[in-house]
Amino acid sequence: MLPKPVVPAYGSEAPERLASMADVTASDAALRRFLHGLPGVDAVGLQARAAALGTRSIKTTAKAYAIDLAISMIDLTTLEGADTPGKVRALCAKGARPDPLDRTVPRVAAICVYPDMAATAKAALREAGAPEINVASVATAFPAGRAALPVKLADTRDAVAAGADEIDMVIDRGAFLSGRYLQVFEEIRRVKEVCRRDDGTAAHLKVIFETGELQTYDNVRRASWLAMLAGADFIKTSTGKVAVNATPPVTLLMLEAVRDFRAAVGVQVGVKPAGGIRTTKDAVKYLVMVNETLGEEWLTADWFRFGASSLLNDLLMQRQKLSTGRYSGPDYVTVD
């Protein structure tokens, strides 16, 4: 049995409750007091829980379901200095039709590119007949985030103007680590403002912490709350550009943070682990974590994403294995 978890109701009272949180962001000191007043994280316990969730045995129908779910949650990513329109178009074609021989494979959630490639991606997806796939663009001086705020805002504005549906911004880890929480808060808030389009809609804002640089679990929890208070639609572990990227404990901690945030404020936020998730086995472990921490409501591409480039092919190979009973090989999936 797995009964439906009890989740507190949310909705109408959300804006009010969020407004009541305004005092905690009134000053650097108030924000620090609030963030440091959050419950602590016991590292050993967190890691043990993440490891225990990793031992779930997901087989047959559940595995098939998880594979398709994982595919539909991928932000298929290319973030190289050497990116070209050709490379981006190829990636878009792959996202639209992950397995050319099997039309039952779902499409990915988004194509994630640098801002200067957003327009190319948007057009390529339209041409591929997959306009519902979002274009996510990393902005704000990705991946270092070391630029003046006007530059970051301009970067974001460009990406939104080029048609990006989602903005993946990096926080200023230097400011965060030196305790200038209000500065980080303001930056997120300002970026969120420029995500707004003229027609009143807005690009979704994903806030990247680079958790490998934040170092401690307490910092990850504080960064999560900070970003959510500032209006993040998604919180994301990492850029994929440093040594330590998404890990199960860090992701679990962020899942707990979005759960607690919704219970406290009534606003639901998504989570995106990114970097280093390469195998179906890993992806399934993350889905189990979402399932048992947040439940079904977060088990859609609206609320959970994988930032990955090579994960898709392993998922496709596992999918082929499930449907044919045989392992194929890397030449039976495309290299784009």
Q: If binding is defined by CB under 8 A, does position 48 make contact with other proteins?
A: yes
User: Residues 336, 305, 285, CA angle at the centre, nearest 5°?
Assistant: 95
**What ranges in the chain are assigned the alpha helix state H?**
14-20, 28-36, 43-53, 60-72, 85-96, 118-127, 149-161, 173-177, 181-194, 211-214, 217-229, 248-265, 280-293, 311-324
Active-site annotation holds for 272 = yes
Q: Which amino acid is at 228?
A: M
Candidate segments 21-29, 130-138, 177-185, 189-197, binder of other proteins by CB under 8 A: 130-138
* Residue in 24, 31, 35, 58 binding other proteins, rule: CB under 8 A: 58
* Amino acid found at 260: D
Residue 81 near other proteins by CB under 8 A:
no
Q: What one-character DSSP code corresponds to residue 135?
A: E
- DSSP secondary structure, 45-72, as one string: HHHHHHHHHTT----HHHHHHHHHHHHH
**Binder of other proteins out of 28, 116, 158, 292 (CB under 8 A):** 292
Catalytic member of 165, 168, 172, 233: 168
**Residue 100 near other proteins by CB under 8 A:** no
> What is the CB neighbour count within 10 angstroms for residue 32?
16
CB 288, min distance to other proteins, A: 8
CB of 84 to other proteins, least distance (A): 26
Q: How remote is the C-alpha of 175 from its chain's centroid?
A: 22
Q: How many CA atoms lie within 13 A of 162 on its CB side?
A: 26
In this chain, which stretch among 11-19, 68-76, 111-119, 177-185 interacts with other proteins, using CB under 8 A?
Answer: 68-76
Q: Is 256 in the site for other proteins (CB under 8 A)?
A: yes
Residue 335 in the binding site for other proteins (CB under 8 A): no
SS3 for 260-324 is HHHHHHCCCCEEECECCCCCHHHHHHHHHHHHHHCCHHHCCCCCECEEECCHHHHHHHHHHHHHH
Among 13, 23, 80, 102, binds other proteins (CB under 8 A): 102
C-beta of residue 203 within 8 angstroms of C-beta of residue 197:
yes
- Minimum distance from CB of 48 to other proteins (Å)? 7
**CA separation for the pair 51, 316 (Å, rounded):** 25
Residue 197 gets the label, from left (phi > 0), alpha (psi -120 to 50) or beta, of: beta
The residue within the footprint of other proteins, chosen from 9, 44, 148, 243 (CB under 8 A), is 44
* 75 annotated active-site: no
- Tell me how far, at minimum, the Cβ of 285 lies from other proteins, in Å: 13
Q: Give least dist CB 32 to other proteins, A.
A: 17
Q: From the CB of 64, what's the least distance to other proteins, in Å?
A: 4
229 binds other proteins (CB under 8 A): no
Indicate whether 201 belongs to the interface with other proteins (CB under 8 A): no
Nearer to other proteins, 74 or 277 (CB): 74
User: Could you tell me if residue 159 is left (phi over 0), alpha (psi between -120 and 50 degrees) or otherwise beta?
Assistant: alpha
Q: Which of these ranges, 13-21, 129-137, 147-155, 206-214, lies near other proteins under the rule CB under 8 A?
A: 129-137
Is residue 97 a contact point for other proteins (CB under 8 A)?
A: yes
Tell me whether residue 199 is one of the annotated catalytic residues.
no
Residues contacting other proteins: total by CB under 8 A: 59
Q: How many CA atoms lie within 13 A of 129 on its CB side?
A: 1
Residue 80 contacts other proteins per CB under 8 A: no
How far apart (Å, rounded) are the C-alpha atoms in residues 39 and 246? 22
**Active-site residue set:** 168, 236, 272
- Binding residues (CB under 8 A) for other proteins: these are 1-7, 39-42, 44-46, 48-49, 55-69, 72, 97, 102-104, 106-110, 129, 132-134, 256, 287-288, 291-292, 296, 299-302, 319, 322-324
